[in-house]
Copies of this chain bind each other. A is one copy, B any other.
Amino acid sequence: MESNDDKFHEECGVFGVFGHSDAGAIATLGLHALQHRGQEAAGIVSFDGRQFYSERHIGLVGDNFTKPSVIKRLSGDRAIGHNRYATTGGAGLRNVQPLFAEFAGGGFAVAHNGNLTNAHTLKRELQLRGSIFQSTSDTEVIIHLIATSEKGPLVDRIVDSLNQIEGAYSLVALSRKKMIGCRDPLGVRPLVLGDLDGAYVLASETCALDIIGARFVREIDPGEMVVITDGGIESLRPFEAAKSRFCIFEHVYFARPDSIIEGTSVYDVRKRIGMELAIESPAEADIVVPVPDSGTPGAIGYAEQSGLRFDLGIIRNHYVGRTFIQPSDSIRHMGVKLKHNANSSVLKGRRVVLVDDSIVRGTTSSKIVQMVRDAGASEIHMRIASPPTRSPCYYGVDTPEKSKLLASRMTVEEMANYIKVDSLAFLTLDGLYRAVGQEQRNMEQPQFCDACFTSDYPTFLTDKENERASSQIATLVGAS
Protein backbone atom coordinates (compact mmCIF):
# COMPACT_ATOMS: atom_id res chain seq x y z
CA MET A 1 0.00 0.00 0.00
CA GLU A 2 2.19 2.76 1.26
CA SER A 3 5.42 1.01 0.47
CA ASN A 4 6.73 3.99 -1.45
CA ASP A 5 6.26 6.51 1.29
CA ASP A 6 9.85 6.53 2.42
CA LYS A 7 9.24 5.54 6.02
CA PHE A 8 10.56 2.76 8.22
CA HIS A 9 7.84 0.12 8.48
CA GLU A 10 6.98 -2.13 11.33
CA GLU A 11 6.65 -5.62 9.95
CA CYS A 12 4.00 -7.11 12.18
CA GLY A 13 1.29 -6.98 14.79
CA VAL A 14 0.13 -9.97 16.86
CA PHE A 15 -3.01 -10.70 18.82
CA GLY A 16 -4.48 -13.59 20.83
CA VAL A 17 -7.61 -14.28 22.84
CA PHE A 18 -8.33 -17.31 25.05
CA GLY A 19 -11.64 -18.16 26.63
CA HIS A 20 -14.16 -16.05 24.74
CA SER A 21 -17.03 -17.53 22.75
CA ASP A 22 -16.46 -14.97 19.96
CA ALA A 23 -12.73 -15.51 19.69
CA GLY A 24 -12.66 -15.24 15.89
CA ALA A 25 -14.56 -11.95 15.73
CA ILE A 26 -12.56 -10.54 18.67
CA ALA A 27 -9.31 -11.38 16.90
CA THR A 28 -10.56 -9.67 13.76
CA LEU A 29 -11.22 -6.46 15.68
CA GLY A 30 -7.87 -6.68 17.44
CA LEU A 31 -6.05 -7.05 14.13
CA HIS A 32 -8.03 -4.14 12.68
CA ALA A 33 -6.80 -1.92 15.51
CA LEU A 34 -3.24 -3.10 14.79
CA GLN A 35 -3.52 -2.58 11.03
CA HIS A 36 -0.89 0.21 11.14
CA ARG A 37 1.71 -2.47 12.03
CA GLY A 38 1.22 -4.39 8.77
CA GLN A 39 -1.03 -3.98 5.75
CA GLU A 40 0.06 -6.66 3.31
CA ALA A 41 -1.79 -9.61 4.75
CA ALA A 42 -3.54 -10.92 7.83
CA GLY A 43 -4.30 -14.31 9.29
CA ILE A 44 -6.18 -15.88 12.16
CA VAL A 45 -6.05 -19.44 13.50
CA SER A 46 -8.72 -20.60 15.95
CA PHE A 47 -9.30 -23.84 17.85
CA ASP A 48 -12.61 -25.21 19.06
CA GLY A 49 -11.48 -28.10 21.22
CA ARG A 50 -11.36 -30.52 18.33
CA GLN A 51 -9.96 -28.79 15.30
CA PHE A 52 -7.89 -25.82 14.17
CA TYR A 53 -9.30 -23.36 11.63
CA SER A 54 -7.15 -21.06 9.55
CA GLU A 55 -8.00 -17.98 7.49
CA ARG A 56 -5.17 -16.15 5.80
CA HIS A 57 -5.64 -13.41 3.21
CA ILE A 58 -3.60 -10.91 1.26
CA GLY A 59 -4.90 -7.41 2.00
CA LEU A 60 -6.48 -5.48 4.84
CA VAL A 61 -8.40 -7.01 7.73
CA GLY A 62 -11.36 -4.78 6.93
CA ASP A 63 -11.48 -6.08 3.37
CA ASN A 64 -11.06 -9.80 4.07
CA PHE A 65 -12.29 -10.69 7.53
CA THR A 66 -15.67 -9.00 7.60
CA LYS A 67 -17.79 -11.60 5.84
CA PRO A 68 -19.96 -13.64 8.19
CA SER A 69 -18.79 -16.81 6.45
CA VAL A 70 -15.16 -16.09 7.32
CA ILE A 71 -15.88 -15.38 10.98
CA LYS A 72 -18.13 -18.42 11.18
CA ARG A 73 -15.34 -20.66 9.95
CA LEU A 74 -13.09 -19.36 12.76
CA SER A 75 -14.91 -21.46 15.30
CA GLY A 76 -13.83 -21.89 18.92
CA ASP A 77 -13.13 -19.91 22.07
CA ARG A 78 -9.47 -19.20 21.37
CA ALA A 79 -7.71 -17.63 18.42
CA ILE A 80 -4.45 -15.94 17.50
CA GLY A 81 -3.87 -13.50 14.67
CA HIS A 82 -1.19 -11.63 12.78
CA ASN A 83 -0.82 -8.60 10.52
CA ARG A 84 2.04 -8.57 8.06
CA TYR A 85 3.81 -5.68 6.34
CA ALA A 86 4.57 -5.85 2.63
CA THR A 87 8.22 -6.82 2.55
CA THR A 88 10.08 -6.79 -0.72
CA GLY A 89 10.82 -10.48 -1.26
CA GLY A 90 7.47 -11.56 0.11
CA ALA A 91 6.29 -14.76 -1.50
CA GLY A 92 2.54 -14.58 -1.31
CA LEU A 93 0.16 -16.50 0.84
CA ARG A 94 2.56 -19.14 2.10
CA ASN A 95 4.39 -16.54 4.16
CA VAL A 96 1.25 -15.17 5.77
CA GLN A 97 1.05 -15.92 9.47
CA PRO A 98 0.02 -17.50 11.79
CA LEU A 99 2.03 -20.46 10.54
CA PHE A 100 0.50 -23.78 11.49
CA ALA A 101 2.02 -27.24 11.84
CA GLU A 102 0.70 -30.58 12.96
CA PHE A 103 3.37 -32.02 15.22
CA ALA A 104 3.33 -35.66 16.27
CA GLY A 105 1.82 -34.32 19.49
CA GLY A 106 -0.89 -32.19 17.86
CA GLY A 107 -1.47 -28.91 16.11
CA PHE A 108 0.54 -25.75 16.78
CA ALA A 109 0.14 -22.22 15.42
CA VAL A 110 2.46 -19.28 15.90
CA ALA A 111 2.41 -15.56 15.09
CA HIS A 112 5.60 -13.59 15.32
CA ASN A 113 6.50 -9.88 15.50
CA GLY A 114 10.22 -9.31 15.13
CA ASN A 115 13.13 -10.78 13.24
CA LEU A 116 15.76 -13.41 13.98
CA THR A 117 19.39 -12.56 13.33
CA ASN A 118 20.49 -16.20 12.98
CA ALA A 119 17.53 -17.59 11.03
CA HIS A 120 19.49 -18.46 7.89
CA THR A 121 22.18 -20.20 9.86
CA LEU A 122 19.65 -22.30 11.76
CA LYS A 123 17.68 -23.00 8.58
CA ARG A 124 20.76 -24.35 6.86
CA GLU A 125 21.41 -26.69 9.78
CA LEU A 126 17.81 -27.87 9.85
CA GLN A 127 17.82 -28.54 6.12
CA LEU A 128 20.96 -30.60 6.36
CA ARG A 129 19.10 -32.73 8.90
CA GLY A 130 16.24 -33.16 6.42
CA SER A 131 13.74 -30.50 7.45
CA ILE A 132 11.80 -29.13 4.51
CA PHE A 133 10.65 -25.51 4.63
CA GLN A 134 7.45 -24.31 3.11
CA SER A 135 7.87 -20.58 3.55
CA THR A 136 10.70 -18.11 3.45
CA SER A 137 9.62 -16.68 6.81
CA ASP A 138 12.05 -16.92 9.69
CA THR A 139 9.12 -17.85 11.89
CA GLU A 140 9.18 -21.28 10.29
CA VAL A 141 12.65 -21.82 11.74
CA ILE A 142 11.09 -21.68 15.20
CA ILE A 143 8.52 -24.30 14.20
CA HIS A 144 11.14 -26.71 12.86
CA LEU A 145 13.27 -26.21 15.98
CA ILE A 146 10.26 -27.17 18.10
CA ALA A 147 9.43 -30.14 15.85
CA THR A 148 12.96 -31.53 16.05
CA SER A 149 13.63 -30.67 19.69
CA GLU A 150 14.51 -33.70 21.80
CA LYS A 151 12.78 -32.32 24.87
CA GLY A 152 9.49 -33.82 25.95
CA PRO A 153 6.55 -31.52 26.72
CA LEU A 154 5.64 -28.71 24.35
CA VAL A 155 6.64 -25.83 26.63
CA ASP A 156 10.07 -27.39 27.17
CA ARG A 157 10.48 -27.82 23.41
CA ILE A 158 9.57 -24.18 22.86
CA VAL A 159 12.04 -22.98 25.48
CA ASP A 160 14.71 -25.25 24.00
CA SER A 161 14.05 -23.69 20.60
CA LEU A 162 13.94 -20.08 21.72
CA ASN A 163 17.28 -20.57 23.51
CA GLN A 164 18.82 -21.28 20.10
CA ILE A 165 17.60 -18.16 18.39
CA GLU A 166 18.97 -14.62 18.38
CA GLY A 167 17.12 -11.46 17.58
CA ALA A 168 13.86 -9.81 18.50
CA TYR A 169 10.51 -11.45 18.85
CA SER A 170 7.17 -11.10 20.47
CA LEU A 171 5.35 -14.36 19.89
CA VAL A 172 1.79 -15.53 20.36
CA ALA A 173 1.24 -19.28 19.93
CA LEU A 174 -1.68 -21.68 20.19
CA SER A 175 -1.70 -25.42 20.85
CA ARG A 176 -4.60 -27.73 21.69
CA LYS A 177 -4.41 -26.83 25.37
CA LYS A 178 -2.47 -23.58 25.62
CA MET A 179 -2.08 -20.05 24.41
CA ILE A 180 1.49 -18.87 24.89
CA GLY A 181 2.88 -15.34 24.80
CA CYS A 182 6.59 -14.57 24.89
CA ARG A 183 8.95 -11.63 24.48
CA ASP A 184 12.65 -12.00 23.75
CA PRO A 185 15.05 -11.32 26.67
CA LEU A 186 15.64 -7.72 25.52
CA GLY A 187 11.96 -7.02 24.99
CA VAL A 188 12.61 -5.22 21.71
CA ARG A 189 9.03 -5.57 20.46
CA PRO A 190 5.96 -4.82 22.59
CA LEU A 191 3.40 -7.30 23.92
CA VAL A 192 0.65 -6.57 26.42
CA LEU A 193 -1.83 -8.61 28.42
CA GLY A 194 -5.50 -7.71 28.73
CA ASP A 195 -8.67 -9.06 30.27
CA LEU A 196 -12.02 -9.19 28.51
CA ASP A 197 -14.72 -10.37 30.89
CA GLY A 198 -12.42 -13.12 32.14
CA ALA A 199 -10.91 -14.03 28.79
CA TYR A 200 -7.15 -13.53 28.37
CA VAL A 201 -5.98 -11.22 25.62
CA LEU A 202 -2.48 -10.72 24.20
CA ALA A 203 -1.75 -7.87 21.80
CA SER A 204 1.10 -5.85 20.38
CA GLU A 205 -0.42 -2.60 21.64
CA THR A 206 -3.08 -1.36 24.04
CA CYS A 207 -5.13 0.18 21.23
CA ALA A 208 -6.15 -3.40 20.37
CA LEU A 209 -7.51 -3.78 23.89
CA ASP A 210 -9.46 -0.54 23.60
CA ILE A 211 -11.34 -1.57 20.46
CA ILE A 212 -12.76 -4.68 22.14
CA GLY A 213 -13.29 -2.97 25.48
CA ALA A 214 -10.72 -5.15 27.25
CA ARG A 215 -9.01 -4.00 30.44
CA PHE A 216 -5.24 -3.46 30.21
CA VAL A 217 -3.59 -5.74 32.79
CA ARG A 218 0.14 -5.30 32.25
CA GLU A 219 2.94 -5.64 29.73
CA ILE A 220 4.55 -9.02 29.22
CA ASP A 221 8.08 -8.54 30.60
CA PRO A 222 11.18 -8.88 28.45
CA GLY A 223 12.24 -12.53 28.65
CA GLU A 224 8.89 -13.61 30.07
CA MET A 225 6.76 -16.44 28.76
CA VAL A 226 3.13 -16.65 29.81
CA VAL A 227 1.28 -19.95 29.44
CA ILE A 228 -2.48 -19.62 29.43
CA THR A 229 -4.70 -22.68 29.88
CA ASP A 230 -8.20 -23.38 31.08
CA GLY A 231 -6.63 -23.41 34.54
CA GLY A 232 -5.37 -19.83 34.33
CA ILE A 233 -2.15 -18.03 33.50
CA GLU A 234 1.37 -19.03 34.49
CA SER A 235 4.48 -16.88 34.09
CA LEU A 236 7.86 -18.42 33.25
CA ARG A 237 11.30 -16.81 32.98
CA PRO A 238 13.14 -19.35 30.86
CA PHE A 239 15.99 -17.14 29.68
CA GLU A 240 19.10 -15.70 31.25
CA ALA A 241 18.41 -12.35 32.84
CA ALA A 242 19.16 -9.35 30.60
CA LYS A 243 18.54 -5.61 30.67
CA SER A 244 15.57 -4.46 28.63
CA ARG A 245 16.23 -2.75 25.29
CA PHE A 246 12.81 -1.72 24.01
CA CYS A 247 12.73 -0.26 20.47
CA ILE A 248 12.69 3.51 20.90
CA PHE A 249 11.33 3.97 17.38
CA GLU A 250 8.03 2.45 18.52
CA HIS A 251 7.62 5.72 20.45
CA VAL A 252 8.75 7.88 17.54
CA TYR A 253 6.65 6.36 14.77
CA PHE A 254 5.50 2.72 14.86
CA ALA A 255 2.99 2.61 17.70
CA ARG A 256 -0.40 4.21 17.46
CA PRO A 257 -0.58 7.53 19.34
CA ASP A 258 -3.46 6.28 21.47
CA SER A 259 -1.45 3.29 22.77
CA ILE A 260 0.20 3.21 26.19
CA ILE A 261 3.76 1.85 26.22
CA GLU A 262 5.79 1.31 29.38
CA GLY A 263 3.23 3.31 31.31
CA THR A 264 3.43 6.31 28.99
CA SER A 265 1.07 7.62 26.35
CA VAL A 266 2.65 7.52 22.92
CA TYR A 267 0.82 10.73 22.03
CA ASP A 268 2.28 12.47 25.07
CA VAL A 269 5.79 11.27 24.20
CA ARG A 270 5.41 12.61 20.68
CA LYS A 271 4.15 15.96 21.91
CA ARG A 272 7.12 16.11 24.33
CA ILE A 273 9.40 15.27 21.42
CA GLY A 274 7.96 18.32 19.64
CA MET A 275 8.55 20.42 22.73
CA GLU A 276 12.13 19.24 23.12
CA LEU A 277 12.63 20.03 19.47
CA ALA A 278 11.26 23.54 19.96
CA ILE A 279 13.65 24.04 22.85
CA GLU A 280 16.66 22.58 21.07
CA SER A 281 15.95 24.06 17.65
CA PRO A 282 13.67 27.10 17.71
CA ALA A 283 12.84 28.95 14.51
CA GLU A 284 11.78 32.47 13.51
CA ALA A 285 8.50 31.57 11.86
CA ASP A 286 4.79 32.28 11.53
CA ILE A 287 3.23 28.85 11.71
CA VAL A 288 3.96 25.25 12.60
CA VAL A 289 2.78 22.75 9.98
CA PRO A 290 2.90 18.96 10.36
CA VAL A 291 3.55 16.46 7.62
CA PRO A 292 0.39 14.49 8.37
CA ASP A 293 -0.40 12.23 10.05
CA SER A 294 2.82 11.07 11.71
CA GLY A 295 4.22 14.57 12.22
CA THR A 296 1.06 15.96 13.81
CA PRO A 297 1.58 15.32 17.56
CA GLY A 298 5.16 16.61 17.31
CA ALA A 299 3.95 19.75 15.52
CA ILE A 300 1.31 20.34 18.18
CA GLY A 301 4.02 20.04 20.84
CA TYR A 302 6.34 22.32 18.94
CA ALA A 303 3.60 24.93 18.50
CA GLU A 304 2.59 24.75 22.14
CA GLN A 305 6.17 25.12 23.35
CA SER A 306 7.11 27.85 20.88
CA GLY A 307 3.87 29.82 20.99
CA LEU A 308 3.67 29.73 17.22
CA ARG A 309 0.37 29.01 15.53
CA PHE A 310 -0.44 25.42 14.58
CA ASP A 311 -2.10 25.07 11.17
CA LEU A 312 -2.86 22.33 8.65
CA GLY A 313 -0.69 23.49 5.77
CA ILE A 314 -0.71 20.07 4.16
CA ILE A 315 -3.90 18.08 3.60
CA ARG A 316 -3.69 14.32 3.44
CA ASN A 317 -5.77 12.19 1.05
CA HIS A 318 -6.43 8.98 2.94
CA TYR A 319 -7.61 7.10 -0.11
CA VAL A 320 -4.44 5.50 -1.32
CA GLY A 321 -4.12 2.55 -3.63
CA ARG A 322 -1.44 0.74 -5.49
CA THR A 323 1.11 2.54 -7.63
CA PHE A 324 -0.57 4.92 -10.07
CA ILE A 325 0.60 5.18 -13.64
CA GLN A 326 2.80 8.21 -14.15
CA PRO A 327 1.61 10.12 -17.23
CA SER A 328 4.45 10.30 -19.71
CA ASP A 329 4.25 14.09 -19.68
CA SER A 330 5.61 13.79 -16.21
CA ILE A 331 3.66 15.54 -13.48
CA ARG A 332 5.88 17.24 -10.92
CA HIS A 333 6.02 15.31 -7.66
CA MET A 334 3.10 13.12 -8.63
CA GLY A 335 4.01 10.45 -6.07
CA VAL A 336 3.78 12.72 -3.09
CA LYS A 337 0.65 14.41 -4.39
CA LEU A 338 -1.29 11.16 -4.34
CA LYS A 339 -1.22 11.43 -0.57
CA HIS A 340 -0.52 15.08 0.25
CA ASN A 341 -1.62 18.42 -1.09
CA ALA A 342 -0.41 21.85 -0.03
CA ASN A 343 -3.05 24.06 1.55
CA SER A 344 -1.92 27.28 -0.06
CA SER A 345 -4.19 29.66 1.84
CA VAL A 346 -2.32 28.65 4.99
CA LEU A 347 1.16 28.64 3.50
CA LYS A 348 1.21 31.66 1.21
CA GLY A 349 3.71 34.23 2.33
CA ARG A 350 4.33 32.47 5.62
CA ARG A 351 7.52 31.37 7.34
CA VAL A 352 6.82 27.72 8.07
CA VAL A 353 8.17 25.27 10.64
CA LEU A 354 7.58 21.90 8.96
CA VAL A 355 7.56 18.95 11.37
CA ASP A 356 8.07 15.35 10.27
CA ASP A 357 8.93 12.24 12.28
CA SER A 358 12.06 11.15 10.42
CA ILE A 359 14.03 11.35 7.19
CA VAL A 360 14.83 8.00 5.56
CA ARG A 361 15.95 8.28 1.92
CA GLY A 362 15.00 11.93 1.70
CA THR A 363 13.04 11.49 -1.51
CA THR A 364 9.63 12.27 -0.07
CA SER A 365 10.96 15.10 2.10
CA SER A 366 12.38 16.87 -0.95
CA LYS A 367 9.08 16.67 -2.76
CA ILE A 368 7.04 17.86 0.18
CA VAL A 369 9.36 20.80 0.71
CA GLN A 370 9.08 21.73 -2.95
CA MET A 371 5.30 21.44 -2.80
CA VAL A 372 5.17 23.72 0.25
CA ARG A 373 7.50 26.16 -1.47
CA ASP A 374 5.36 26.13 -4.65
CA ALA A 375 2.33 26.94 -2.50
CA GLY A 376 3.97 30.21 -1.46
CA ALA A 377 5.81 29.56 1.82
CA SER A 378 8.46 32.26 2.21
CA GLU A 379 10.74 30.21 4.46
CA ILE A 380 10.81 26.53 5.42
CA HIS A 381 12.41 25.38 8.65
CA MET A 382 12.27 21.63 8.82
CA ARG A 383 12.30 19.98 12.23
CA ILE A 384 12.61 16.22 12.57
CA ALA A 385 11.16 14.47 15.60
CA SER A 386 14.03 11.97 15.93
CA PRO A 387 17.82 11.81 15.52
CA PRO A 388 19.24 11.04 12.06
CA THR A 389 18.53 7.41 11.06
CA ARG A 390 21.91 6.10 9.98
CA SER A 391 21.68 2.30 10.23
CA PRO A 392 19.29 -0.44 9.17
CA CYS A 393 17.19 -2.36 11.63
CA TYR A 394 17.53 -6.17 11.89
CA TYR A 395 14.73 -6.61 14.40
CA GLY A 396 11.57 -6.74 12.35
CA VAL A 397 11.48 -3.34 10.70
CA ASP A 398 11.64 -2.80 6.97
CA THR A 399 14.50 -0.36 6.37
CA PRO A 400 16.54 0.39 3.28
CA GLU A 401 20.14 -0.73 3.23
CA LYS A 402 22.60 1.66 4.94
CA SER A 403 23.79 3.31 1.74
CA LYS A 404 20.25 4.42 0.94
CA LEU A 405 19.82 6.22 4.25
CA LEU A 406 20.35 9.91 3.64
CA ALA A 407 21.82 10.51 7.11
CA SER A 408 24.45 7.81 6.58
CA ARG A 409 26.06 9.72 3.75
CA MET A 410 25.44 13.41 4.49
CA THR A 411 25.89 15.89 7.29
CA VAL A 412 22.84 17.75 8.50
CA GLU A 413 23.93 20.77 6.53
CA GLU A 414 24.31 18.71 3.36
CA MET A 415 20.89 17.24 3.99
CA ALA A 416 19.40 20.71 4.35
CA ASN A 417 20.83 21.64 0.97
CA TYR A 418 19.66 18.38 -0.54
CA ILE A 419 16.05 18.78 0.48
CA LYS A 420 16.27 22.55 -0.05
CA VAL A 421 15.09 23.94 3.28
CA ASP A 422 16.12 27.19 4.91
CA SER A 423 17.07 25.31 8.04
CA LEU A 424 17.01 21.71 9.17
CA ALA A 425 17.34 20.27 12.67
CA PHE A 426 16.98 16.79 14.14
CA LEU A 427 16.15 16.01 17.73
CA THR A 428 19.25 14.99 19.68
CA LEU A 429 19.55 11.48 21.09
CA ASP A 430 19.43 12.90 24.60
CA GLY A 431 16.41 14.99 23.67
CA LEU A 432 14.69 11.82 22.56
CA TYR A 433 15.62 10.02 25.78
CA ARG A 434 14.30 12.97 27.76
CA ALA A 435 11.03 12.87 25.84
CA VAL A 436 10.55 9.22 26.75
CA GLY A 437 11.18 10.05 30.40
CA GLN A 438 14.87 9.29 30.89
CA GLU A 439 17.32 11.83 32.12
CA GLN A 440 19.71 10.86 29.39
CA ARG A 441 20.97 7.86 27.45
CA ASN A 442 23.01 5.45 29.59
CA MET A 443 26.01 4.99 27.31
CA GLU A 444 27.12 1.78 29.07
CA GLN A 445 23.77 0.12 29.20
CA PRO A 446 21.38 1.97 26.94
CA GLN A 447 17.80 1.82 28.15
CA PHE A 448 16.48 1.28 24.61
CA CYS A 449 17.42 -0.29 21.33
CA ASP A 450 18.38 2.76 19.31
CA ALA A 451 20.57 0.98 16.77
CA CYS A 452 18.99 2.80 13.83
CA PHE A 453 20.46 6.02 15.26
CA THR A 454 23.61 4.62 16.86
CA SER A 455 24.53 1.31 15.17
CA ASP A 456 24.67 -0.13 18.67
CA TYR A 457 22.99 -3.50 17.99
CA PRO A 458 22.03 -5.31 21.19
CA THR A 459 22.35 -8.89 19.82
CA PHE A 460 24.72 -10.93 17.69
CA LEU A 461 24.08 -10.59 13.95
CA THR A 462 25.07 -14.13 13.03
CA ASP A 463 23.43 -14.28 9.61
CA LYS A 464 24.95 -11.02 8.54
CA GLU A 465 28.34 -12.49 9.38
CA ASN A 466 27.57 -15.74 7.58
CA GLU A 467 25.93 -14.33 4.52
CA ARG A 468 27.19 -17.24 2.50
CA ALA A 469 24.74 -19.46 4.35
CA SER A 470 21.80 -17.51 3.09
CA SER A 471 22.34 -18.32 -0.55
CA GLN A 472 20.93 -21.81 -0.29
CA ILE A 473 17.43 -21.91 1.06
CA ALA A 474 15.49 -25.11 1.42
CA THR A 475 11.85 -24.59 0.83
CA LEU A 476 8.87 -26.78 0.16
CA VAL A 477 6.93 -24.55 -2.17
CA GLY A 478 3.17 -24.40 -1.97
CA ALA A 479 0.93 -22.85 -4.52
CA SER A 480 2.42 -21.55 -7.72
Contacts and interface: CB of A to CB of B under 8 A. Distances in A.
B310 A476 contact: no
Nearest to A319: B35
Nearest to A133: B102
Contact of A71 (B60, B134, B144, B325): B325
Q: Which of A22, A94, A479 has the most CB of B within 10 A?
A: A479
A133 B99 CA distance: 13
Interface in A115-131: 124, 127-131
Interface stretch (A186-194, A225-233, A252-260): A252-260
Given A22-B327, A474-B104, A210 B341 contact: yes
A175 interface: no
A197 B327 CA distance: 13
Interface string A307-351: 001111001011111111111110110100110011111100000
A300 B313 CA distance: 12
A372 to B, nearest CB: 12
A66 B342 contact: no
Interface stretch (A26-34, A406-414, A445-453): A26-34
A62 B28 contact: no
A312 B297 contact: yes
A317 B64 CA distance: 17
Given A94-B478, A132-B143, A321 B104 contact: no
- How many A residues are at the interface, by size bracket? 35 or more
B345 A267 contact: yes
Given A25-B325, A63-B321, A102 B478 contact: no
A68 interface: yes
Interface in A435-480: 472-480
A268 interface: yes
B473 A102 contact: yes
A257 B345 CA distance: 10
Contacts of A62: 319-322, 324, 338
B334 A29 contact: yes
A296 B318 CA distance: 15
Contacts of A474: 101-104
Given A207-B341, A332-B213, A325 B478 contact: no
Nearest to A211: B337
B22 A54 contact: no
Residue of A33, A149, A267 with most chain B CB atoms under a 10 A cut-off: A267
A57 B479 CA distance: 8
A37 B104 CA distance: 34
Interface in A10-56: 20-22, 25-26, 28-29, 32-33, 35-36, 39, 43, 52-56
Given A100-B476, A127-B104, A478-B94, A300 B321 contact: no
A147 interface: yes
Nearest to A144: B132
A265 interface: yes
A174 to B, nearest CB: 13
Nearest to A150: B130
Contacts of A32: 317, 319, 321, 324, 338
A151 to B, nearest CB: 12
A388 B127 CA distance: 49
**Leading 7 A-B pairs by shortest Cβ distance:** A62-B321, A130-B148, A265-B345, A22-B327, A258-B315, A35-B319, A54-B480
20 contacts: A25-B326, A26-B327, A28-B324, A35-B319, A64-B321, A66-B322, A102-B133, A102-B474, A102-B476, A103-B132, A129-B130, A130-B131, A131-B131, A131-B147, A212-B331, A256-B341, A257-B343, A258-B344, A300-B311, A476-B476
Interface of A: 20-22, 25-26, 28-29, 32-33, 35-36, 39, 43, 52-57, 60-68, 71, 93-94, 99-104, 106, 124, 127-134, 143-144, 147-149, 197, 207, 210-213, 256-258, 260, 265, 267-268, 293, 296-297, 300, 304, 309-312, 315, 317-329, 331-332, 334, 337-338, 341-346, 472-480
